[in-house]
C-alpha cells in the first residue's frame, strides 16, 4: 500500500523560506527556570499554516509512503504529532536555511528538509533518534535541499544538526550534530554556526564520515595548511551581506539573554577580522517561557540599529520594512535591517519538553500565527486529538475572521498606520492573555496529573478542552482588538472613550525633517512697514 505524507501546507512554506528565512533559539533544561528543554522556531514566510493533529498509527510490513515526487518504506509505527513541530514523545524540531555552497544542492532528489522534519517526528522518541532518522534517510534516498540548521529537542537534551548536500550523482549529505551543553543556550538564523567540533566525543558530537573528506575533494579545505577545520567556514562562507542579515539576530538574542558578556556588534556589522559569536552562551539568568517570548520580540530597540527610529520608520516609528530588504543607491549596496520580529512571519512556537511529567502532559507547544511582536502565544499539547478550528482553517487568498491567522495578520498590518500609538493597545491585550495562560499552567497541569494517575484518557481530554478554550478566547479577543483599532484610530484621529476624535498630529522631529526635505512647506512671512507689502520674505 502507498500512503501520502501530509505535506501540502509545508510545500507552500518552501516557496517562501529561501526568501524570508527563519530564526531559532535553543534552551537546555539547565538554562530554563523549570528544567524544560525549549526550542523557539520562527517560520518567516508569507504563507498560512493550517495546523493539524496527526494521530499515531501502525503500518503493515512492506507499506510505502509517498513523499514529494518519490516514496520511502514506511516504518511499523508512527508517533502522533501536532503540525510538523512536536510529537507525542516530546520531541520538537525547528530549522533555519543557510543555503551555503549552492553547487552542493542536488535538486533532483525528492527528499527535502521539511520532509525530514516530519519523518523525524513520526519515527523518533528522542533527539538522538531524530538525528539518526534524518541522516539515515538522506543516506538511503538522497538529500534534495540546500544547507539547513535544525534545532532538535527532547525532554533531556537539545541538539543542533547542520546538513548540506554533496552535489550531483551521489546520495547522502555532509552533516555535523552538536549537543548544546546543559545550562547553556544557542541560536541560529540562516547562517551555519557550527565551527570547530570534536572528532572523538560521540556523546556530544556526531558527524558524517565524509564531512572533511568532501571538503578536501572539492577544494574547500586544505589540510596541509595546518588550519583548523570549521564546518561553517568551509560549507557556508560568510559575507558582509549575510552577516548583516543573519548574525544580527543571533547577536541581539545573546546580548539580551546575557548582557554581562558585552557582545560586540563588529562581527554582524561586517568588520573584517572581527571575532565570530560563540555557538553557545550561559544566560545571565535562567529563562522561563515569558523570557523567551521577550527574546523573540525585537527590532533592535535601544541600539544603533533601532528600527523604530529614523526616516525609514516614518512619523509613527513603525519597525516594518517592505521587501526586498536589499537595494542599491548610487552604485552602493545597501540593506534594511532584518529583525527577529518580522511582519512576514507565518507562525512561531516555543516548545517545552519536561522529563518529570508524563509525555501526554510534559510536551507543550506555545503557538501563534504571524508577527511575534504583535501576536499572542497559546498552549497546545501534542497529546490532544484535535486543534481549534480557527487554527486549522484559513486561505491566504481570502480574508476571514474565522481564521486565527487572518485575525492576527489584520492587527499586525493595521497598526502600521499609527504604530507608536497602536502597539501599546496590542501589548496590553497580549500581556493580559499570555500572563493568564502562563499563570494557569501549573494549576491546570497539577489537576490533570492527578487525574492521569487513574484515567490517562480523561486527563488528555481535559488538556485538549483547556487548550481549545484558551485558543478560542485568544482569537475572539484578537478579533475584538482589530475592530477596536479601526474605531479608535480613524481618519488620522484618535477617538477618546466618548467617541470624539482627537488630533495628535506628527512628532516634532518628523515635522522638522519634513520641512528640511521640502522647504516649500514654510508659509511666507510679510515684512512690516514695507512699501512692498505683497513681497514675501526670502528664505
Q: At a CB cut-off of 8 Å and minimum separation 6, what does 482 contact?
A: 407, 410, 411, 414
Instruction: With beta carbons less than 8 A apart as the criterion, state whether 365 and 382 touch.
Output: yes
The answer to whether residues 150 and 253 belong to one domain is: yes
Residue 334 lies in a domain: no
The answer to whether residues 36 and 172 belong to one domain is: yes
- The model's pTM: 0.94
The answer to whether residues 278 and 406 belong to one domain is: no
Residue 46 lies in a domain: yes
Distance CA 139, CA 156 (A): 27
Q: How far is CA 343 from CA 21, 338, 377, 513, in A?
A: 12, 11, 16, 26
Distance CA 206, CA 131 (A): 9
The answer to whether residues 204 and 274 belong to one domain is: yes
Query: Domain ends where: 285, 314, 345?
Result: 345
Residue 327 lies in a domain: no
The answer to whether residues 194 and 290 belong to one domain is: yes
Per-residue model confidence (pLDDT) at position 17: 36
The residue segments making up the domain with residue 446 are 357-495
The answer to whether residues 55 and 180 belong to one domain is: yes
The answer to whether residues 131 and 277 belong to one domain is: yes
Q: Which residues pair with 367 in a beta bridge?
A: 349, 378
Distance CA 96, CA 24 (A): 7
Coil, helix or strand at residue 285:
coil
Residue 529 lies in a domain: no
Query: Domain ends where: 285, 312, 345?
Result: 345
pLDDT lower than 70: segments of the chain: 1-20, 529-539
Please count the CA atoms within 13 angstroms of the CA of 226 that sit on its side-chain side.
0
The answer to whether residues 254 and 364 belong to one domain is: no
Cell of 380: 497546545
Distance CA 312, CA 416 (A): 13
Per-residue model confidence (pLDDT) at position 46: 87
The answer to whether residues 465 and 393 belong to one domain is: yes
Per-residue model confidence (pLDDT) at position 535: 57
Instruction: Count structural domains, the chain.
Output: 2
Residue 434 lies in a domain: yes
Q: ω into residue 324 within 30 of 0, thus cis?
A: yes
Phi, psi of 337 (to 5 degrees): -65, 150
Per-residue model confidence (pLDDT) at position 310: 93
Per-residue model confidence (pLDDT) at position 534: 56
The answer to whether residues 399 and 281 belong to one domain is: no
Distance CA 415, CA 418 (A): 6
Per-residue model confidence (pLDDT) at position 7: 47
Distance CA 211, CA 198 (A): 12
The answer to whether residues 251 and 375 belong to one domain is: no
Instruction: With beta carbons less than 8 A apart as the criterion, state whether 138 and 95 touch.
Output: no
Cell of 243: 552577516
Query: Domain ends where: 345, 378, 411?
Result: 345
The answer to whether residues 60 and 177 belong to one domain is: yes
What length is written for the chain? 539
Per-residue model confidence (pLDDT) at position 3: 56
Instruction: With beta carbons less than 8 A apart as the criterion, state whether 123 and 59 touch.
Output: no
Residue 523 lies in a domain: no
Residue 439 lies in a domain: yes
Residue 532 lies in a domain: no
Amino acid at each position: 500500500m502507498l500512503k501520502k505524507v501530509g505535506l501540502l501546507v509545508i510545500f507552500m512554506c518552501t516557496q517562501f523560506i529561501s526568501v524570508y528565512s527563519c530564526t531559532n533559539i535553543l534552551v537546555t533544561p539547565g538554562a530554563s527556570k523549570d528544567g524544560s528543554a525549549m526550542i523557539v522556531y520562527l517560520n518567516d514566510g508569507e504563507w498560512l499554516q493550517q495546523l493539524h493533529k496527526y494521530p499515531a498509527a501502525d503500518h503493515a510490513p512492506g507499506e510505502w509512503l509517498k513523499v514529494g515526487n518519490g516514496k520511502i518504506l514506511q516504518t511499523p509505527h508512527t508517533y502522533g504529532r501536532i503540525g510538523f513541530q512536536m510529537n507525542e514523545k516530546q520531541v520538537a524540531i525547528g530549522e533555519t536555511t543557510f543555503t551555503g555552497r549552492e553547487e552542493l544542492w542536488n535538486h533532483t532528489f525528492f527528499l527535502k528538509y521539511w520532509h525530514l522534519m516530519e519523518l523525524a517526528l513520526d519515527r523518533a522518541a528522542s533527539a538522538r533518534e531524530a538525528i539518526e532518522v534524518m541522516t539515515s534517510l538522506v543516506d538511503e534516498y538522497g538529500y534534495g535541499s540546500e544547507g539547513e540548521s535544525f534545532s532538535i529537542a527532547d525532554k533531556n537534551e537539545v541538539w543542533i544538526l547542520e546538513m548540506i548536500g554533496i552535489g550531483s550523482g551521489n546520495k547522502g549529505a555532509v552533516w555535523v550534530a552538536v549537543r548544546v551543553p546543559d545550562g547553556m543556550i544557542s541560536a541560529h538564523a540562516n547562517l551555519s554556526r557550527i565551527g570547530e567540533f570534536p572528532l572523538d566525543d560521540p556523546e556530544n558530537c556526531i558527524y558524517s564520515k565524509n564531512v572533511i573528506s568532501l571538503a578536501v575533494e572539492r577544494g574547500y579545505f586544505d589540510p596541509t595548511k595546518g588550519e583548523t577545520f570549521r564546518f561553517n567556514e568551509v560549507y557556508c562562507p560568510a559575507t558582509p551581506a549575510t552577516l548583516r542579515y543573519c548574525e544580527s539576530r543571533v547577536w541581539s538574542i545573546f546580548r539580551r539573554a546575557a548582557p554581562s558578556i558585552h557582545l560586540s556588534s563588529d562581527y554582524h556589522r561586517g568588520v573584517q577580522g572581527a571575532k565570530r559569536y560563540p555557538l553557545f552562551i550561559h544566560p545571565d539568568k535562567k529563562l522561563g517561557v515569558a523570557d523567551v517570548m521577550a527574546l523573540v520580540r525585537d527590532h533592535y530597540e535601544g541600539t544603533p540599529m533601532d528600527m523604530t527610529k529614523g526616516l525609514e520608520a516614518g512619523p509613527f516609528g513603525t519597525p516594518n520594512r517592505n521587501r526586498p530588504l536589499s537595494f542599491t543607491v548610487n552604485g552602493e549596496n545597501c540593506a534594511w535591517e532584518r529583525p527577529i520580529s518580522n511582519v512576514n512571519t507565518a507562525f512561531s512556537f516555543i516548545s517545552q519538553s519536561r522529563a518529570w511529567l508524563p509525555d501526554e502532559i510534559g510536551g507543550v507547544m506555545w503557538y501563534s500565527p504571524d508577527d511575534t511582536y504583535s501576536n499572542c502565544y497559546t498552549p497546545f499539547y501534542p497529546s490532544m486529538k484535535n486543534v481549534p478550528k480557527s487554527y486549522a482553517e484559513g486561505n491566504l487568498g481570502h480574508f476571514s475572521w474565522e481564521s486565527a491567522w487572518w485575525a492576527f495578520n489584520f492587527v499586525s498590518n493595521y497598526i502600521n498606520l499609527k504604530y507608536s500609538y497602536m502597539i501599546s493597545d496590542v501589548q496590553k491585550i497580549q500581556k493580559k492573555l499570555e500572563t493568564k495562560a502562563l499563570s494557569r499552567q501549573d494549576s491546570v497541569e497539577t489537576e490533570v496529573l492527578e487525574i492521569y494517575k487513574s484515567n490517562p484518557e480523561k486527563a488528555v481530554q481535559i488538556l485538549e478542552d483547556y487548550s481549545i478554550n484558551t485558543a478560542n478566547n485568544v482569537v475572539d479577543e484578537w478579533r475584538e482588538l482589530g475592530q477596536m483599532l479601526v474605531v479608535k484610530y480613524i481618519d488620522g484621529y484618535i477617538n477618546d472613550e466618548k467617541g470624539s476624535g482627537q488630533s495628535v498630529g506628527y512628532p516634532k522631529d518628523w515635522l522638522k525633517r519634513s520641512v528640511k526635505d521640502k522647504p516649500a512647506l514654510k508659509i511666507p512671512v510679510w515684512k512690516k512697514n514695507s512699501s512692498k507689502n505683497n513681497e514675501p520674505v526670502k528664505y
